[in-house]
Amino acid sequence: MYFSAFSYQETANMFFFTTIRDYHQQLQANESSCSEAVSFYLDNCKRHEHLNAFRELYAEEAIQKAALLDEQRSGGLPLKKMHGVVIAIKDVICYEGHKVSAASRILKDFTSLYTASALQYLIDEEAIIIGSCNCDEFAMGSSNENSAYGPVKNALDESKVPGGSSGGSAVAVQANMCMLSLGSDTGGSVRQPADFCGIIGLKPGYGTISRYGLIAYASSFDQIGIFGKNIDDVFLALEVMAKPDVMDSTMNQSGFTPPAPLTEEKKYKFAFLQQATAHPSLDPEIAKSIDSLQDDLEKAGHETTSIDFDLLDYIVPAYYVLTTAEASSNLSRYDGVRYGYRPETKPENLEAFYAENRSESFGTEVKRRIMLGTFVLSTGYYDAFYTKAQKIRALLVKRMHEIFENYDAVIMPVSPTTAFPLGLHEKDPLAMYLADIYTVFANLTGIPAIALPLFSHSNNMPFGVQVLCNSGSEVTLRDISAGLMMLKKQ
């Protein structure tokens, strides 16, 4: 059964959004305006304020930008790619003159001095930025319950989590508070909340989008990702953002330029990982739906094969050793000396000053990961943990290359379950970590991956599948994703 979250449109405003292409046609025909769009989304933000998806709305700024675009628009002239597109950003993406806190007290009231390159590329194409979205603190979490500003609620069932860490960005799209939103994906933080919210979530390959201006969690894993409800819209945003940037030396300098649409349907070779679809943690309904998808693909003329993948259970331990080690290093810069939180008491010395700042302002999960990362990097444990985890990462990259020598894409679950109740894993962080079993593979290997909302569970919550392609194969990922969305609509 195909699932489309929030297909209704509120009636307080006559504006109706389907795709960016249709929206632009309406603008050029004077059937709508950017001001109407912004008014519609701001009304929805107000209506859904209790979901806690936004940290801050840029209402006045968005209204002014919309009015300016409406005034400047000339009939018949081509519009810039993001003209009037209303976009929300995760509270880890820097925007000059705006607050950015990574949902942490340590960065309370900090105002960014510059704009992230990827965001600037969208603004240059005349996007309208409506606000910043709540998230897990420093993007560390899978439920959006670790924010210093309270949890985000899933708009489909407010007793459930929206997923994390980019839960606010996912709910902003899910509940029609913007057209697109940006998140960050270090181990599934775009794909998992997209799955829980019934929308599309894209993690491009590592280095496809500049990380300049993205607050770092784990630098060799982090990647800006995109939420939307339409494949073409999501990949149009990728096309705009995937430009070379001298400020990020890890970027793939070739960018992303999609070719013309295919004139005939191409047949692909898909790999299904046996250990993933048969894993004991996987919900039986999700497993059954993925099996049926494999049958549907074969009936449509594609080639599918279930392959052995015996490294699955090593993925999560390797991921958490490596990412916490990088987090320990990255977060050492937050000390309260130059900016951010400071305690009211006056510590006796500099060491006590650092200790009080960090102890009082970092949340429990962030402190847990800093301590774990410091431990695995310490003398006597570095080789036992960090070095072994790097070896596993190298094995995964090697295995990934072997798979993509014979297949166009890998299909696997996004999460073992649908969205779970708020507070369920509050006292069991290990259970939360293990739920990342299907998403962290793409970050460990640096390949592009996307979550597609294809199904509905008997518990009335959405779920879908994850498609992974080889490094630099975002075009193939786009074409396969479009085909899968069409297949499940039939």
- Would you please indicate which residues are annotated as catalytic (active-site) residues? 90, 165, 189
> Coil, strand, or helix at residue 283?
coil
d(Cα 457, Cα 459) in Å, to the nearest integer? 5
Contact 270, 411 (CB under 8 A): yes
What are the backbone angles phi and psi of residue 131, rounded to the nearest 5°? 165, 175
Beta carbons within 8 Å of 68's beta carbon, 6+ residues apart: none
Task: State the burial class of residue 287 (Cβ atoms within 10 Å of its Cβ: 0-12, 13-18, 19+).
Answer: middle
Residue 103 to residues 91, 107, 171, 177, 325, Cα–Cα distance (Å):
7, 8, 16, 20, 21
Q: How many CA atoms lie within 13 A of 417 on its CB side?
A: 17
> Coil, strand, or helix at residue 228?
strand
Sign of the CA dihedral 334, 315, 205, 128?
Answer: negative
Contact 228, 234 (CB under 8 A): yes
d(Cα 432, Cα 398) in Å, to the nearest integer? 28
Q: What's the N-to-C CA distance of the chain in angstroms?
A: 10
| Residue owning tokens 């009211």 | 344
Query: What radius of gyration, in Å, describes the C-alpha atoms of the chain?
Result: 22
**Ranges of H-type helices in 29-176:** 34-47, 59-72, 117-124, 167-174
d(Cα 218, Cα 371) in Å, to the nearest integer? 15
DSSP 30: T
For residue 208, which of 437, 432, 478 has the smallest C-alpha distance?
A: 478
Cα 323 from chain centroid (whole Å): 17
Render the burial of 198-225: b for 16+ CB within 10 Å, e for the rest: bbbbbbbbbbbbbbbbbbbbbeebbbbb
Beta carbons within 8 Å of 171's beta carbon, 6+ residues apart: 48, 51, 53, 133, 152, 153, 154, 155, 162, 177, 193, 197
d(Cα 155, Cα 1) in Å, to the nearest integer? 20
Sign of the CA dihedral 285, 290, 295, 300?
Answer: positive
Beta carbons within 8 Å of 69's beta carbon, 6+ residues apart: 34, 83, 84, 126, 128
